[in-house]
Structure 1
């Protein structure tokens, strides 16, 4: 069991990793009582990286 949450940031228009795959993965983790922070962005695979930075940095800082 994870002691720290997992951050998943995903672009809804991602064609490299389709959103339904990631959403199902996050749902399976949650069903297994694993802490997950899921954020979705209205962008593609590369855009999700850039758009997630304002959410990722505070998330990582909260772990320390």
Structure 2
């Protein structure tokens, strides 16, 4: 018999992560081309990108 416990904070976090992964999969399946651009990923995840130089660069991004 399975005992169900009360939802925890980690349950809510896990559900939010699953929802975001689903959004990315939907966007990827609708994308033209092989990969989603970093800008498109930010748009799907509703990420506000700062142009401040103190931010960490995205993967593959090179600063000059």
Query: TM-score normalised to the size of structure 2?
Result: 0.27
Larger RCO (CA within 8 A; separation ≥ 6): 1
The higher radius of gyration belongs to 2
Query: TM-score normalised to the size of structure 1?
Result: 0.27
